[in-house]
Amino acid sequence: MRFFLERFIPIFFVLIYFLFTVALFFWGAVSFEVVNSFDLLLFLFLVFFMVFLGYLIGVFSKAGIENELNWRFYFRVGAFAALILFFPSIYFYTNKYPWQVFEAVGNQGDVYKNMLEALVEESLGRKVVALIRLIFSPFILSVVSLAILNWCKLTKFERVLFYFFCSSQLIFSLMRGTDKEVADFLIVAFASLLIVTYRKKVSGILRINWQALLKLFSLCVIVLCLAFSLFLDRKLSRMGGTTEFCIMETAVCANYDGPLMSLLADNLKFGSAMFTAYVAQGYYGLSLTLHDDLDSMYGFGHSIILSNAYSLITGDDEFYKRSYLYKSIAKGWDDKAVWSTIFPWIANDVGYAFVPAVMMIFAYLLARSWCSAVFSKDDSAAIVFVFLFILFMYMPANNQLAQTADTYCAFWFWIICWLFSSNLKKILRAK
């Protein structure tokens, strides 16, 4: 089959990343004391197998019909909406102004604390901004993907608009002292570039310019180094400069005594331990509730947004206590401060026994959206693929797509847009 290997590129990255984070969990620079290692590994193997199986089924399904998306409309609306919301978002989420960003750069620990204090305060302005962001979320969250997918078609004005958009997101990250914005941008950019590259490859127009490739590689290295440096600076600032740490006052602590640690400088030892803690700590939280009984949350438990909405509508203030995440609190693992992977979130509704099957469905959609995005050049499928790629990259942490209202709504908007448009065109062509 022509372009056989191209169909499996995404699952290669997903599974390699999955295995990498599991390896960090068991052999990284943090000591995770797990009492049910065998059961945990068996569960993760089942998830691994079902993800691969789901992708395999999806990749051999019939390719979709190309949807002609008015990408320029979505790009411009999203970019303008983000820029209009830039000033009020920073003010109502941090109680500061954008021009104070230079003060924030070297003081990320205090910036993060100030942001948390600002979020505690009741603010009508923040609610209004959040509502507007929710309405425009399908547009705003597709800007980076659409720009990369259609870079050669962008006008000079649109490129300048894109640069301003990226700058606003970086400033927003610096003003909040959070890493999510940078991590999301890197994942979205990588997934979008992957689609662009293989679109050209299957079209036979990919020409390798080694000089340009070297420049791109150098740029990627610089960006990753800067992102990692900012990550370390934020963590050291929050911890008051100390490199010794434990998570949630548990026995899960940094371990600098490994054979490889002696080869690293002190700051790299801390960076290795902190990176391990971030990308692998979720497996420890998962191990704590793996054998707990299911108290089904009726389809609302996979998202904190839906859980809160259910409690608000029904008046059931005890609803979240049914979740596996809440049960982990009694074991010293507070879900408000640490992660437990995506799996307990899904298990809140269906139990751990059916989690591999749900992950199989996600993998199937990942394969279908990839094939439609690359082989049918469907931009709506490409955006769905990017969202699903985010889901799998955050898999060791949480159910990222369902944690905020704007991301959750934007994901479903593009899923419906992609599937509905494809099926409608099939019906019309059949007639």
Q: pLDDT digit string (tens) for 379-406?
A: 999 999 999 999 999 999 999 999 999 9
pLDDT of residue 431: 47
Indicate the angle between helix axes 355-375 and 9-27, nearest 10 degrees.
Answer: 140
Query: 32 vs 6, 276, 277, CA distance in Å?
Result: 37, 11, 9
Q: Cα angle at 283 between 280 and 288, to 5 degrees?
A: 145
HSE value, Cβ hemisphere, 13 Å, CA-based, for 239: 16
- Using one digit for the tens of pLDDT, what is the confidence trace for 293-304? 999 999 999 999
Please name every residue paired with 254 in a beta bridge, in sequence order, or none if there are none: 30
Length of the chain: 431
Burial of 181: CB neighbours in 10 Å, binned 0-12, 13-18, 19+: middle
Residues 21 and 341 sit within 8 Å (Cβ to Cβ): no
pLDDT of residue 427: 45
Element (H, E) at 296: none
Residues 402 and 408 sit within 8 Å (Cβ to Cβ): yes
pLDDT of residue 63: 60
CA atoms of 260 and 371, how far apart (whole Å):
41
Q: What is the pTM assigned to this prediction?
A: 0.90
Alpha-helical segments (H) within 241-378 = 266-289, 304-314, 324-327, 343-350, 355-375
Pick from 278, 290, 247: which is nearest to 37 by CA?
A: 290
pLDDT of residue 254: 80
pLDDT of residue 430: 47
Q: Which two tokens stand for residue 98?
A: 């954008």
Pick from 130, 10, 78: which is nearest to 384 by CA?
A: 10
Please name every residue paired with 260 in a beta bridge, in sequence order, or none if there are none: none
Unique residue bearing structure tokens 């690359």: 374
First to last CA, the chain: 30
Q: Cα angle at 407 between 402 and 311, to 5 degrees?
A: 45
Q: Tens of pLDDT along the chain (431 residues)?
A: 556 678 999 999 999 999 999 999 998 888 888 889 999 999 999 999 999 999 999 998 766 556 678 999 999 999 999 999 999 988 888 878 887 777 777 676 677 777 766 666 777 888 898 899 999 999 999 999 999 999 999 999 999 999 999 999 888 888 887 778 888 999 999 999 999 999 988 877 766 665 666 776 677 778 777 777 767 776 666 666 676 777 776 667 887 776 666 666 666 777 788 888 888 999 999 999 999 999 999 999 999 999 999 999 999 888 999 999 999 998 889 888 889 999 999 999 999 999 999 999 999 999 999 999 998 899 999 999 999 999 999 999 999 999 999 999 999 999 999 987 655 455 444 44
Pick from 121, 61, 68, 62: which is nearest to 91 by CA?
A: 121
CA atoms of 224 and 268, how far apart (whole Å):
14
26: number of Cβ within 10 Å: 13
Average pLDDT, the chain: 86
pLDDT of residue 136: 96
239: number of Cβ within 10 Å: 14
* Three-state helix/strand/coil letters over 62-109: CCCCCCCCCHHHHHHHHHHHHHHHHHHHHHHHHCCCHHHHHHHHCCHH
CA atoms of 217 and 222, how far apart (whole Å):
9
Residue 399, sorted as left (phi over 0), alpha (psi -120 to 50) or beta, turns out to be: beta
